[in-house]
Amino acid sequence: MNILDMKFMKNFIKITEDAWLKGWHERNGGNITYRLTEEEVNEIREDLNEEASFQPIGVTVANLANEYFLVTGSGKFIRNISLNPSENVGIVKVDESGENYKIVWGLENNARPTSELPSHLMSHSVKKEKTNGLHRVIMHSHATNVIALTFVLPLDGKVFTRELWEMATECPVVFPDGIGVVDWMVPGGADIARETAKLMEEHNAVIWAHHGIFCSEATLDLTFGLLDTIEKSAEILVKVLSMGGKRQTIKPDNFRDLAVDFKVELDEKYLYETDLVNA
């Protein structure tokens, strides 16, 4: 089947349009990658250029050997993807060693995969292992309110998780494993990729201080939904802080009750006492 008619491509384009409209992807900000299923690869195989030459990823992702990824392009604008997919996104294949990739479709006119390819692939690698192959999407967005909070809250995943859980009752159900936080680092390289992947062992969302957020999930919809939920919660927190701060909130025992009814496990490390608890 024509690659542009494939469902995964249509879903990918819809998510990029939605994310642009959310205001998370100014200029060339942010990047998204999707690990194709074997069936999808089989359906498009005749349109893939396997003759392309391999280039180093910059990190090793052994368990992604021979996997195919739909990736956004380096320097490309997310808002332009729906207008011209084959120039702005491409499909890359990882080699047998997990150290190199080649472009097998798209990224026309000598475009390159996203500058954050090391962070994406290392996070895919961790998630493929941790979820037995269930997770297929990594989405990096410059979500405005999440970024704003990294100038105000301590750069501590326990604090971000708890504060964002408190801002909307659905949050502990949507991200029961909490959120990791990486201190400010130079983007685009192996170091930030390693720090991000380490936190992906435990969380489906990792915030990059003063930069943005990385989310992982099984489908494009779920990844977008996770990011949207976190960003909405961050927006509420920004408003609450701007109005002078919390006067009342959801308490640790409320979260414990929620966990029972919604059948999620909430780590007690997030349910610490705060000044407001007994207010």
Q: Which of 105, 68, 61, 65 is nearest to 87 (CA)?
A: 105
Binding mask 158-197 for Zn ion (x = CB under 5 A): ----------------------------------------
* Residue among 161 and 196 whose Cβ is closer to ligand 2HA: 196
| Interacting residues with ligand 2HA between 106 and 135 (CB under 6 A) | 115-116
CA-CA distance, 46 to 227, in Å (whole number)? 34
Q: Indicate whether 189 belongs to the interface with ligand 2HA (CB under 6 A).
A: no
**Which residue, 31 or 33, is less far from ligand 2HA as judged by CB?**
31
Span 211-250, contacts to ligand 2HA by CB under 6 A: none
- Closest residue to Zn ion using C-beta atoms: 212
* Closest to 113 measured CA to CA, from 71, 58, 165: 71
Taking CB atoms, the residue at the shortest distance from ligand 2HA is 187
The Cα–Cα gap between 181 and 145 comes to: 15
H helices present in the chain, as ranges: 7-22, 38-44, 85-88, 117-130, 144-149, 157-167, 171-174, 190-200, 220-242, 252-262
Q: How far is the CB of 218 from Zn ion (least distance, A)?
A: 23
- The minimum distance between CB 188 and Zn ion, in angstroms, equals 8
Contact 115, 93 (CB under 8 A): no
29 binds ligand 2HA, rule: CB under 6 A: yes
CA distance 220 to 218: 7
Q: Is 129 a catalytic residue?
A: no
CA distance 179 to 161: 5
The nearest distance, CB 187 to ligand 2HA, in angstroms, is 4
Minimal distance, residue 194 CB to Zn ion, in Å: 17
At closest approach, how far in Å is the CB of 255 from Zn ion? Answer: 31
8 Å CB contact between 140 and 29 = no
User: Which of 116, 166, 195, 235 is flagged as catalytic?
Assistant: 116
Q: Which residues contact 35 (CB under 8 A, 6 or more apart)?
A: 64, 67, 68, 69, 124, 128, 136, 137
Residues at the contact surface with Zn ion, assessed by CB under 5 A = 212
Residues at the contact surface with ligand 2HA, assessed by CB under 6 A = 28-31, 115-116, 140, 187
